Amino acid sequence: MDTMKLLMIICDGMADRPCQELNGMTPLEAAEVPNMDSLAKKGQSGLMDVIAPGIVPGSDTAHLALLGYDPRKVYTGRGPFEAAGEGLEVHKGDVAFRCNFSTVDENMCVTDRRAGRISQETDKLAAALNGIKIEGIEIIFKEGVDHRAVLILRGHGLHPDITEIDPHELCKIFESKHNIPESKKTARILNKFTKMSYEILSQHPVNLARIEEGKPPANIVLARGSGSPPNVPSFTEHHNGLKGAAIVGISLVKGLCQVSGLDIIDVPGATGSTDTDINAKTEAAIKALETYDFVLLHFKAPDLYGHDGDVPGKVDFIQRIDESLEKILELKNTIICVTADHSTPCSAKDHTADSVPVLIYGPGLRHDSVECFNELDAMSGGLGHIRGHELMQMLSGLAGKNPKFGA
Amino acid sequence: MDTMKLLMIICDGMADRPCQELNGMTPLEAAEVPNMDSLAKKGQSGLMDVIAPGIVPGSDTAHLALLGYDPRKVYTGRGPFEAAGEGLEVHKGDVAFRCNFSTVDENMCVTDRRAGRISQETDKLAAALNGIKIEGIEIIFKEGVDHRAVLILRGHGLHPDITEIDPHELCKIFESKHNIPESKKTARILNKFTKMSYEILSQHPVNLARIEEGKPPANIVLARGSGSPPNVPSFTEHHNGLKGAAIVGISLVKGLCQVSGLDIIDVPGATGSTDTDINAKTEAAIKALETYDFVLLHFKAPDLYGHDGDVPGKVDFIQRIDESLEKILELKNTIICVTADHSTPCSAKDHTADSVPVLIYGPGLRHDSVECFNELDAMSGGLGHIRGHELMQMLSGLAGKNPKFGA
């Protein structure tokens, strides 16, 4: 059997609920999306519970599911994906965190969780912490954008199931505690690291200068989102040798794809925001399909408009994604899947558990009678209701990549 | 995100098959149900396998599923729900039974399984058995309606997996046997209790008087339906803090709701039968929604008409339920779910495994193109096919009560 390539287009948070501003239509219903409609018409539609009915997906757990893993079995926390998204290599057994540079007073009370939104010279602060060892555990620390940073603990006997250091409020920082015996050492190391970060950073020339200038010093690191990379086979092993790549702007999803074993294709102009270069990303995806079996193309902005409750913005951005798909329609020998990682209804301004529409088109594959791509029409589609972690297996099956099970 | 209240209306055994008397329509299709139709039109419909395809639900297992538990994993027997329904507190580790006061001869042969349907002074008989101890196991015993009673064994080392005492025929009673090593003690205690019940009750003044009057003495207790309360988190723990109440007439379902951690709201006139005060129950549900996050409103009668094969009676009762829902339509900020716990087709006169229609309506939530609420229209609904134990999670998700899983 001839095999086909796979293109999965994920419009983050695109799925929605009826909007008053749109006379009860969803943004996707209201948007003019001739290219998505054309794919729906030629292919099959359905609704997808990305994790399971009623479960509100995060972007990380949702993408784990879309890559074919069951997040309820393998997800421990966002730390490793954030760390990978910042360009660090995450290894199995690592425990990783996302961090803030924060300001505390001498009683360890937080006075500014973002250290005055520090944006300069955090690389120098990070360098002062990176590479130290605590009880033989290696500290890997890297600055991120503005006050953000990532931390990896590397060594034997670590486990991510610990409580938070970061009080998320202006009060005394917490002491991390182990939730299970296996994480006792990890909590202790994190507490020691937090203390050391204060000792080292409060004396750092960058901070002494900030104090001089009347700015809050970035005198402590508060870590959160403790997690280890999922203990799973890589994407390629998991999907019968499929070689995959991802084109994605935001670091959390980028990191997740990387940890899962996808190659990351960086596209100039891809920002992970509303100002991203949609066409550049789409063109990069088309090009990547020349060398990869599977390409994940991710657009973040619909989710941002959903969080802002910006209905016209969401409609407009969906239309702009659709315009850029014109060239996708010309792809030969490629199965195209369009979906969302979760719903971010403009009315809820947050992720919800509502199912998402999904379409699958491939040359020579079946079609149903659905003619438009949206939440309502997808209800009567030929795919019925599917689960997120089964989608990838369906796609690789349709693409002829799955071996026969049995004789 | 704003959260909503949840009202689940369960019409016991309402789902049916085509009836010849109704020209091939089901009772729900034939009934005039403008309020349910209105909810279906504004919301989404679907079909639900309450336990799993092909599994014939009991009322207890069905309600366990509807409350969000998987009965195939946690159900052991109806005893604890019967006991709770009679007002006893059931604890984890208890083994509970439903019982009959019966009549046996001196050879322990059953001559009347219901002791002449004894209805007087069973409280005195029960008092003679309640509180005794066997091998340190506490015997908690309480009379029910007519010849019925409930029994709880409380103490260490009990397990409900034993064989029956009650032969369900006019013959010698059985000796209970353990099915697994862990239930050896329980079978032994039950056998001793049965023997003691005979020794105590056959000498009891109430029975001596009955013999005098030529009535069969209630001279033994035959227990059945051995079970322990499901080893599960309470409804509130299981559903992210949802505080729930149930309005339900029949003791089995009442007991199940109570064991699961719902508050029971007793409504004057609620009989759990065809003469129940439908409006009083509906009004109580509306009132309960002022203080509870979740209210379960249960109507038993459609099931009774189904068991009787009474098609017109079933149609009429469904219409009467629908009439009472008029005020439900005025509820603000509330998600309404209407469904059945199982099918009791008038042609089968018993529970069947046929799926049941389900509708979910909530202000601002999605709708599908279904316009009527019945088994046939629900097939093309936007909910597709769902499982009973996932319904509650879907509802709490839609109500904005579920935390995000991941980031």
Name the residue among A57, A347, A379 with its Cβ closest to that of B364: A347
The alpha carbon torsion through A253, A254, A256, A258 (nearest 10 deg) reads: 160
- Which residues have a Cβ under 8 Å from the Cβ of B139 and sit 6 or more positions away? B129, B130, B131, B132, B133, B151, B152, B153, B193
Task: Kindly state whether B404 is in contact with chain A, defined as any CB-CB distance less than 8 angstroms.
Answer: yes
Query: Is the pLDDT score of B285 beyond 80?
Result: yes
CB contact (8 A) between residue B407 and residue A351: no
pLDDT digits 0-9 by tens, B62-75: 999 999 999 999 99
CB contact (8 A) between residue A225 and residue B407: yes
pLDDT, mean of residues A162-185: 96
Task: Kindly state whether B366 is in contact with chain A, defined as any CB-CB distance less than 8 angstroms.
Answer: yes
CA distance A276 to A283: 13
Q: How confident is the model at residue A381 (pLDDT cuts 50, 70, 90)?
A: very high
Measure in Å the smallest separation between the Cα of B43 and chain A Cα atoms: 11
Question: Chain A residue with minimal CA distance to B397?
Answer: A54
- Which residues have a Cβ under 8 Å from the Cβ of B353 and sit 6 or more positions away? B49, B53, B54, B55, B56, B57, B343
pLDDT, mean of residues A213-227: 97
pLDDT, mean of residues A113-121: 94
Which residues of A fall within a CB distance of 8 Å from B397? 53-56, 352-354
Question: Chain B residue with minimal CA distance to A357?
Answer: B382
Q: Which class for A287: exposed (0-12), middle (13-18), buried (19 or more C-beta within 10 A)?
A: middle
CB contact (8 A) between residue B395 and residue A54: yes
Assigned token pair, A288: 């990547």
Task: Kindly state whether A384 is in contact with chain B, defined as any CB-CB distance less than 8 angstroms.
Answer: yes
Question: Chain B residue with minimal CA distance to A351?
Answer: B404
Q: Specify the pLDDT at position A2.
A: 72
CA distance A51 to A61: 8
Q: Specify the pLDDT at position B1.
A: 61
CA distance B317 to B14: 10
Q: How confident is the model at residue A3 (pLDDT cuts 50, 70, 90)?
A: confident
CA distance B295 to B5: 8
Long-range CB contacts (within 8 A, 24+) of B171-179: B171/B109, B171/B110, B172/B107, B172/B108, B172/B109, B172/B110, B173/B104, B173/B108, B173/B109, B173/B110, B173/B220, B173/B222
Q: Specify the pLDDT at position B3.
A: 87
pLDDT, mean of residues B227-245: 96
Query: Is the pLDDT score of A137 beyond 90?
Result: yes
pLDDT digits 0-9 by tens, A19-61: 999 999 999 999 999 999 999 999 999 999 999 999 999 999 9
Task: Kindly state whether B390 is in contact with chain A, defined as any CB-CB distance less than 8 angstroms.
Answer: yes
pLDDT, mean of residues B95-113: 97
Task: Kindly state whether B8 is in contact with chain A, defined as any CB-CB distance less than 8 angstroms.
Answer: no
Measure in Å the smallest separation between the Cα of A233 and chain B Cα atoms: 20
Task: Kindly state whether A47 is in contact with chain B, defined as any CB-CB distance less than 8 angstroms.
Answer: yes
Q: Specify the pLDDT at position A255.
A: 96
CA distance A136 to A148: 26
Name the residue among A53, A78, A349 with its Cβ closest to that of B407: A78
For chain B, give the percent of residues with pLDDT over 70.
100
Task: Kindly state whether B384 is in contact with chain A, defined as any CB-CB distance less than 8 angstroms.
Answer: yes
Query: Is the pLDDT score of A87 beyond 80?
Result: yes
CB contact (8 A) between residue B390 and residue A54: yes
Measure in Å the smallest separation between the Cα of A383 and chain B Cα atoms: 11
| B28: helix, strand or coil | helix
Measure in Å the smallest separation between the Cα of A212 and chain B Cα atoms: 37
Which residues of A fall within a CB distance of 8 Å from B44? 379
Task: Kindly state whether B316 is in contact with chain A, defined as any CB-CB distance less than 8 angstroms.
Answer: no
Name the residue among B1, B382, B394 with its Cβ closest to that of A349: B1
Which residues of A fall within a CB distance of 8 Å from B364? 17-18, 347
Instruction: Please name the amino acid found at residue B343.
Output: S
Question: Chain A residue with minimal CA distance to B403?
Answer: A56
CA distance A53 to A50: 8
Query: Is the pLDDT score of A166 beyond 70?
Result: yes
Query: Is the pLDDT score of B374 beyond 70?
Result: yes
User: Which domains are present in chain A?
Assistant: 5-75+231-398 (3.40.720.10), 82-227 (no CATH)
Query: Is the pLDDT score of A199 beyond 70?
Result: yes
Q: Specify the pLDDT at position A181.
A: 97
Q: Specify the pLDDT at position B272.
A: 87
Q: For B287-304, give the DSSP string.
A: HHTTT-SEEEEEE-HHHH
Question: Chain A residue with minimal CA distance to B395?
Answer: A54
pLDDT, mean of residues B171-187: 97
Q: Specify the pLDDT at position A1.
A: 60
Name the residue among B2, B365, B406 with its Cβ closest to that of A60: B406
Q: Are A100 and A113 in contact (CB under 8 A)?
A: yes
For chain A, give the percent of residues with pLDDT over 90.
99
pLDDT digits 0-9 by tens, B30-48: 999 999 999 999 999 999 9
For chain A, the average pLDDT equals: 96
Measure in Å the smallest separation between the Cα of B338 and chain A Cα atoms: 17
